[in-house]
Amino acid sequence: MRTYAAVDLGASSGRVMTGRVGQDVLELSEAHRFPNRPVRTPEGLRWDILALYAGVLEGLRAAGAVDSVGIDSWAVDFGLLDADGALLGNPVHYRDSRTEGVAQKVWATVPAAELYAATGLQYAPFNTLYQLAAARGTAQFAHARRLLLIPDLLTYWLTGEQGTELTNASTTQLLDPRTRAWSHDVAARLGIDLGLFAPLRRPGDPAGALRPEVLEQTGLHGPVPVTTVASHDTASAVAAVPAEGERFAYICTGTWSLAGLELDAPVLTEDSRAANFTNELGIDGTVRYLRNIMGLWLLQECLREWGEPDLGELLRQAAEVPALRSVVDAQDAAFLAPGRMPERIAAACRSTGQPVPATPAEVTRCVLDSLALAHRRALADAQRLTDRPVDVVHIVGGGTRNALLCQLTADACGLPVVAGPAEAAALGNVLVQARAHGLVGDRADMRRLLARTQPLTRYAPRGDAAAWRAAEDRLAAAVP
Ligand code: ADP
Ligand code: LRH
């Protein structure tokens, strides 16, 4: 039996989880959870990286003796280091407005179609590539000698060693998903110095050991190795989808909904680009072919506006609201920025000629119906674009705690849903560490262990496919 600490930083909370792995055993417990509260400074929206690092240290102290530590977090964002290895300012939040209009300028040099063919990455204004284009010309960027993605930055602070983990590197839009190496051509044409990045490392590679000072701060006794995991949280979560066989789709639901398929090779067609599907990298040479949907962010922002009412009660009321009265396009980047979410949802309903949800329960129902509809569209498009039919949808992540969302997704997709685990990213993190130490076998073996050990909830689709089709047509007609 071995024990691992999984540091998993989501956009809404960070956690340090302890995973125990042995023959037919996989147990996860929460050592420490802390809020992730971005801060708006005069310069814009910033991650509070010091609070997150403090949370990690506190979590490691709470976890106690472990055989190894692994770190995953949200994608695309980074810290810049100066020539002395010191962090230059707080990392910029991917919802910051600095990338507005930047992509269009980048496309003037490398057209969007060429970028997709080379990197397979969907268009999102916050892809690292566009963030770098926005940073160019700033005094901070002029002093930058190294770029570390968020999990790599924290790994560096814990171990003193620098690297760029592959699955997260695949979200920069500077990596070629076929060769799994940097796209020198894209970088050269855009004047991006790939020397900013530390050498690539792969899930399972060693990433150093906790520095003596960190051991002292956490009360741990060394040596404590740090293992490279699939450091993109979505890559870790997909690794922990408890699927059997290959005919499954997944939806990672948390702040975002990431809905798609696991493939052996990227799909780089023009149709795929038009449908805005991304080819991010997973473990073992897999491709995470998926679409970003705004996810429970829509609800998180409403709750914030309403003064954080009790979520359980709100969901009970939302279940009583008639289905599909109004839906919004949950893929729309118009919902990306923080603030005034109930108002923005109401405006979207109004402008598409639908009833405007008035009460928090009605807005919540509108959000959940809209998410389920977006899940349906994403999975139908993914199957069409890859010619890979699926029999079951696995939902993982915090959204599995929302039974209404899971049921609506089963209804909308017309497929059975298996929900769980809620802490999939942490479990994927733990399993990759355990595998590096020879405790579990291949991907299928990891998934069998998950299916045997984790509590899962099943939702059968309930009739009324016609209502979902009608809502889809209604939205398609209103939002081209
Ligand atoms: P992230 O990793 O992106 O921060 P999580 O996977 O932790 O997100 O999911 C957070 C979301 O899960 C919350 O925004 C909330 O909507 C949902 N959630 C968490 N707990 C519950 C609960 N008890 N009931 C319903 N939904 C929940
Ligand atoms: C989810 C996630 C997602 C990215 C987004 C920036 O946490 O990593 O996969 O697209 O954050």
Which pLDDT tens digit goes with each residue over 14-23? 999 999 999 9
Query: What are the pLDDT digits (tens) for 241-264?
Result: 999 999 999 999 999 999 999 999
Closest ligand 2 atom to Cα of 76? 6
Backbone angles phi, psi at 375, to 5 degrees: -60, -45
Pick from 95, 258, 311, 367 the residue to mutate for probing ligand 1's pocket: most ligand atoms within 8 Å of its CB: 311
Query: What ipTM, to 2 d.p.?
Result: 0.99
Ligand 2 centroid – CA 254 distance (Å): 9
Q: Residues enclosing ligand 1, CB less than 6 A?
A: 10-13, 254-255, 296, 299-300, 311, 397-399, 401-402
| Residue with CA at minimum distance from ligand 1 atom 21 | 401
Active-site annotation holds for 185: no
pLDDT, residue 480, reads 63
Residue among 96, 176, 233, 381 flagged as catalytic: 233
> Ligand nearest 74 Cα, by number?
2
- Residue-wise pLDDT tens for the chain (480 aa)? 999 999 999 999 999 999 999 999 999 999 999 999 999 999 999 999 999 999 999 999 999 999 999 999 999 999 999 999 999 999 999 999 999 999 999 999 999 999 999 999 999 999 999 999 999 999 999 999 999 999 999 999 999 999 999 999 999 999 999 999 999 999 999 999 999 999 999 999 999 999 999 999 999 998 999 999 999 999 999 999 999 999 999 999 999 999 999 999 999 999 999 999 999 999 999 999 999 999 999 999 999 999 999 999 999 999 999 999 999 999 999 999 999 999 999 999 999 999 999 999 999 999 999 999 999 999 999 999 999 999 999 999 999 999 999 999 999 999 999 999 999 999 999 999 999 999 999 999 999 999 999 999 999 999 888 999 999 998 988 876
Query: For the segment 273-326, what is each residue's pLDDT rounded down to a tens digit?
Result: 999 999 999 999 999 999 999 999 999 999 999 999 999 999 999 999 999 999
- The pLDDT score that the predictor gives to residue 5 is 98
List of domains in the chain: 2-231 (3.30.420.40), 233-420+456-479 (3.30.420.40)
The model's pLDDT over 348-399, given as tens digits with 9 standing for 90+, comes to 999 999 999 999 999 999 999 999 999 999 999 999 999 999 999 999 999 9
CB atoms within 10 A of CB 50: 10
Ligand 2-lining residues (CB < 6 angstroms): 10-11, 74-76, 94, 232-234, 255-256, 258, 292
